[in-house]
Every structure is written in structure tokens, then in C-alpha cells.
Amino acid sequence: MPLVPMRVLLDHAAEHGYGVGAFNVNNMEQIQSIMQAAAETNSPVIVQASRGARSYSQDNYLRHLMLAAAELHPHLPIAMHQDHGNSPATCFSAIEQGFTSVMMDGSLLEDGKTPATYEQNVKVTREVVAKAHSLGVTVEAEIGCLGGIEDGHGAGLTGDAALAHLTDPAEAERFAAETGCDALAVAIGTSHGAYKFTKKPGGDVLKMDLIEEIHRRLPNTHLVMHGSSSVPQELVELINRYGGKMPETYGVPVEAIQRGIRHGVRKINVDTDNRLAITGAIRKVFAEHPEKFDPRDYLKPSRDAMAAVVRDRMIAFGQAGWGDKVPATTLDEMKARYR
């Protein structure tokens, strides 16, 4: 089937009480890993590309790789999503490239670093919603700012400043009503990258109770958790065993995400865990077989390592088993529904 609007997947997930992992991609092997895991578990698929990913892979390559994924797996619904669009222009260019969903991250200004005002956020989000919905494309927005600046994206907030930018549930309620977004990313203490927490996070830093409060106020808006990598200790150890130098670090426990899924979280963004899996596998081949130089000798194990992580998440988030049950819905059908 053609790529589907993300809204269709999130509506189905809400109806049946599961979450859908949204996995970042930059190249063919990452797309293949996700599709391998999805095929094995019969899962609906959200593939997402950041601005950096689009520029690294080039839009045309990415578009054709995604079309290849859909062609090879016709029974699985696949949504292609722009991760952290920094401006309406970025979102519109993604739509032109065939993305079926966009994130207008108006929580930050176009520089991707400076926290925006509420009014600025509403303005850009509404602009994107108007155009995207007229084409049947899904819109994710963000209210509140994630902590950290790990991958160059983010306000670099820590400590009290990060706490001050957590999502305010009353503001989230108003924002969803004023923008008409399909999905809403909320800031609950997570950040992008591998260095989220210095010890196993408790409720003082990872505020799952905030998710529950937001869901109480917004029972019909799909919530999104960014920065949701779990940073498995075994992957950090694998990297370090084969020459890496990663300090002790902790991510978001899968059980916390599962609690979120019971309270309205429908999209869970995971990138870092896959990066760790890929790097660990490649380091292992390099260390154990320094004589090898065929890229396939290390890309194949790295592809399998990422597929294993994605498979685990698809099962843990509850999307496994639903792939062929999501009603096939086109952008045109969504367009009519928005009208």
C-alpha cells in the first residue's frame, strides 16, 4: 500500500491501547532494519527523518528508499514523518518530498535552540496544520522544551531551567484546541541522546505523572514522547568493551514508556538505542577482525543489531501483531476527513 498518514496509525493505536515506536533513519540499512523487525512482528511502522537526516541522505534517495520499503512490504502500513521540523518551510518541503506526516516543532525558534513564546508556537503550528491537513498530512506539534542539546538540537536546558520548560498541562490543553494538531509532544524530563540521566531515573526527574495529568485534560490528543531511548547498559558495555569511551549513563526505562502508553502516549521516538546497537556491532567486527575491509562484513551485523532493538521495542510498545489490521487509508481519504 502507499505510505499512509501517521494519524491513521495513531488513531488505531489509541483505539486498541498500544503505542507505536518512531525510529529515525539516515540510510538504507536503518530502513531495512526497521522493516525487517516490522515484518517479523507484523507491526505498523513510523519511520522518521530529522533535518540532518534529510540533508545527509538527500531527499530523493530517502523518498525512493521509503517507496521501496512500501513496495516490499505491501501489507504493512508505513508512515514517513519529518522529525523536529524547525519552520513551516521545512515541513512544506517534506510534504513535497512525499512525507505523510510532519512535526512542526514550534517550541523552539527556527534556530532549533531558542525557546519560543507560546504565541510564536501557536502561529507556526497553525500555519502548518492548515496546509498539511488540506493535503491529508498529519501534524505533530510540541509544547514545552526537552532538556539537553546532545545532538545539536535543543535549548540546552538543564536543572531548574529544564524544569521551568516542562509542559504545563493547562497550556497543553489550550494549545491543542488553538492549533488543531493531531499529536502533541510533551516535555516530561527526557532529552535527546545517550546522556539523559546520571542514575536510574525516578519520578523526580522523569515525570510520568505529568503525562497522566495531560492525558486527563486531553483524552483525545495523541501524546508523543521524545528522547525515549532506554540506553541499554549491555549496549554501552559492548561499545566500551571494543574500544568505546562512554561514561555511565541511563535512559528512559521501557516500563516508564509502557506506563505512558496506558495514559495516552501513542508515538515513542527512539534513535539513540539504534545508534548504540549499530556502533557496538561495528566496533566488535573491527576489533575481532581487523583484517576485514568489506563494508558488508560490518554493516550486516549492525543492521541485524538494530533490527533486534527495534523488534524488542515493537513488542514492548504493543504494536506487534497489528500491522495487517490497520485500515488502509490514503492521504485523499484523510483530506476529506479533515474537511
Q: What residues are annotated to the active site?
A: 83
In the complex, the smallest distance separating the C-beta of residue 160 from ligand G3H, rounded to whole angstroms, is 24
Check residue 271 for interaction with ligand 13P (CB under 6 A). Answer: yes
Alpha helices in 182-294 (DSSP H): 208-217, 233-241, 254-261, 272-288
Q: Is 30 in the site for ligand G3H (CB under 6 A)?
A: no
Which residues have CB under 8 Å from 29's CB, separation 6+?
299, 302, 303, 306
Q: Does 270 bind ligand 13P (CB under 6 A)?
A: yes
Q: Which of residues 43-102 bind ligand 13P (CB under 6 A)?
A: 83-84
Considering the rule CB under 6 A, would residue 62 count as an interface residue with ligand G3H? no
Q: Write the CA distances from 177 to 141, 172, 213, 248, 260, integer angstroms.
A: 12, 9, 16, 41, 22
One residue of 40, 59, 127, 151 binding ligand G3H per CB under 6 A = 151
Quick check: 229 binds ligand 13P (CB under 6 A)? yes
Cα(304)–Cα(34) distance, integer angstroms: 10
For the CB of residue 54, give the shortest distance to ligand G3H in the complex, in Å.
Answer: 9
Binding span for ligand 13P by CB under 6 A among 54-62, 89-97, 158-166, 224-232 = 224-232
The interface region with Zn ion, picked from 13-21, 200-208, 223-231, 308-316 by CB under 5 A, is 223-231
If the CB atoms of residues 106 and 329 are measured against ligand 13P, the closer one turns out to be 106
3-state DSSP assignment of residue 85: strand
The beta strands (E) that lie in the chain are given as 20-24, 45-49, 78-85, 101-104, 138-143, 183-186, 222-225, 265-270
Confirm if 326 and 8 have CB atoms less than 8 A apart.
yes
Site for ligand 13P in 124-183 (CB under 6 A): none
Q: How far apart are CA 165 and CA 168, in angstroms?
A: 8
**Sign of the torsion angle spanned by Cα atoms 121, 122, 123, 124:** positive
Give the separation between CA 320 and CA 155, rounded to whole angstroms: 35
C-alpha cell at 245: 569511551
* Distance, CA of 248 to CA of 116 (rounded, Å): 33
Sites for ligand G3H among residues 203-262 (CB under 6 A):
none
In the region spanning residues 171 to 210, those forming contacts with ligand G3H, defined by CB under 6 A, are 192
Instruction: Kindly write out the interface string for residues 99-128 of this chain, putting x where it contacts ligand G3H by CB under 6 A and - elsewhere.
Output: ------------------------------
What's the closest the beta carbon of residue 228 comes to ligand 13P, in angstroms? 5
Task: State the minimum distance, in angstroms, from the CB of residue 296 to Zn ion.
Answer: 31
The footprint of Zn ion on residues 123-142 (CB under 5 A) is none
Largest CA distance in the chain: 61
User: What's the distance, CA 60 to chain centroid?
Assistant: 21
- CB nearer to ligand G3H: pick between 190 and 302: 190
- Residue 142 near ligand G3H by CB under 6 A: no
Q: Applying CB under 6 A, which residues contact ligand G3H?
A: 24, 50, 52-53, 83-84, 151, 153, 192, 271
